[in-house]
Amino acid sequence: MATKDTGSLRALRRTNSERLLSALMEHGVLHRAELARLSGLSRTTVSTIVGELIASGVVIESAGDADTSDVDGRARAFLRANPAAGTAAGLDFTLERIWCHVTDLAGTTLASEGATVAPDTPWQERLAAGLGLLDDLLAAAGQDRSALLGLAVGVPGPIDLRTGVVGPSLPGQAWVGVNVAQEFGRHLSCPVLAEVNTRLEAIAEFTWGAGRGVRDVLYIGLSTGLGAVLQIEGRLHQGGARGGGGAIGHVSADFSGEACPCGNRGCLVQYASIPAVLAALRPTLGPDAGIDDVLAATAAGDPGCRRVFQETGEVVGRVLANVCNLLNPERIIVGGELARAGDVLLEPIRATLRRSAMVLNRDADVVAAALGLGERAAASGAAALVLRETDQLVSALLAGAEPRPNEAV
């Protein structure tokens, strides 16, 4: 019976520790009285558990002015989760690159770096290269895998929420048919998450970029493929029943348009992607022109390039008008390589939205992504995803910290 009681007390203490630490992760800085009010625990219990969390280095007393808001007027130190108690990391894989981003628990960047891979590299070699890059960056930050509290991995293609397996995507994507989180989890002792690249770019913008502080916001990525991600009332929409939501590239922009490999006709990706822009400009810029060439010519005032971006913005605006009528976002963030064209693309999106959406839905603020493009943005979003997954992060923080019996719970 004593063993059972001890186990029950330890479980209760762990639950209460998780409750207090979750409150600090969510609210940032609190004093003990606020923790007691938020958690519903007694001040004695809060004091006891906070003392242990401070002793273990998981919580610190924050510098700054003391709080004297309580009725007795006594100064009370503020508490916060210790940013140095561990690290969060993100890995992002595209066809030819890997990027890794490592932060502390406050989201401060500790290290961020990319590496190239051959397009035909199999997923097993990509996994090994990603882990090697992760180890290098942890070492550069003075850490190792033991400090890692969570990793999120970005890959192209949809991820089935029921199975965790990456579904069919663009040709040549190595991760199709692989449970990415499970495979990385075989090599790490921390929680591992897997997510689609575009969603990670959006999470970075929602957390640190153009969507920070906005509760209802839509991100649309215009790149080789197109994707959309929605945040509703401050919460990330999880992508539908199976994770297939957000495929805005396969919304019909023209029902009589050309057939798309997805089986639909006139999909948006056929008009507003990098391949579509390059195809439209091939007669004037030549067959070897890349997106950087197009953007440079656009910035220099090339009329053909500017006309193509005008048309691209109009077709995107028509589709977004329907999205706004359905969801009424406060802000639309346009990311991906095509967003580098700036107002040449954004202005026709705004004008078409004002013209085509219902009156109540046409005032969405259309802005460019603020955090840059490509692998770095997605990798930083992956680290942000770890920090947003409070329950898993708290569990990892407290893992291995065995509570002592015969203490207040």
pLDDT tens, residue order, the chain (409 aa): 444 455 676 777 778 888 888 788 777 788 899 889 988 889 899 899 888 888 888 889 875 544 444 444 455 688 988 888 889 999 999 888 999 999 998 888 999 999 999 989 999 999 999 999 999 999 999 999 999 999 999 998 788 888 999 987 666 789 999 999 999 999 999 999 999 888 899 999 998 889 988 999 999 999 888 989 999 988 888 777 776 778 899 999 999 989 998 889 999 999 999 999 999 999 999 999 999 999 999 999 999 999 999 999 999 999 999 999 999 999 999 998 899 999 999 999 999 999 999 988 888 999 999 876 555 888 999 998 988 886 777 777 777 454 444 343 3
Residue 243 token pair:
């994770």
Q: Which residues does 71 contact at the CB level (< 8 Å), separation at least 6?
A: none
CA atoms within 13 A on the CB side of 291: 16
Distance separating alpha carbons of residues 307 and 261, to the nearest angstrom: 27
Distance separating alpha carbons of residues 13 and 407, to the nearest angstrom: 9
The pLDDT, as a whole number, for residue 408 is 39
**Helices (H), ranges, 40-117:** 43-55
As a dihedral over the C-alpha atoms of residue 271, residue 276, residue 277, residue 279, rounded to 10 degrees, the angle is -130
The pLDDT, as a whole number, for residue 409 is 39
The pLDDT, as a whole number, for residue 198 is 86
The alpha-carbon radius of gyration of the chain (Å, integer) is: 24
Is residue 277 classed exposed, middle or buried when 0-12, 13-18 and 19+ CB atoms within 10 A define those classes? Answer: buried
Distance separating alpha carbons of residues 90 and 103, to the nearest angstrom: 9
Distance separating alpha carbons of residues 245 and 243, to the nearest angstrom: 6
The pLDDT, as a whole number, for residue 171 is 67
Contact 383, 88 (CB under 8 A): yes
Q: For residue 110, what is the enclosing H or E element?
A: strand 109-116
Q: Beta strands of 238-290 (E only): which ranges?
A: none
Residue 256 token pair:
């009589």
Q: Which residue is it, tokens 């040549």?
A: 172
CA 34 to chain CA centroid, Å, is 30
Q: What is the DSSP letter of 138?
A: H
Residue 96 token pair:
């030819």
Distance separating alpha carbons of residues 145 and 188, to the nearest angstrom: 8
The pLDDT, as a whole number, for residue 372 is 66
CA-based nearest residue to 308, from 285, 335, 332: 285
Residue 314 token pair:
């109009």
Contact 371, 338 (CB under 8 A): no
Residue count of the chain? 409
Residue 317 token pair:
């605006």
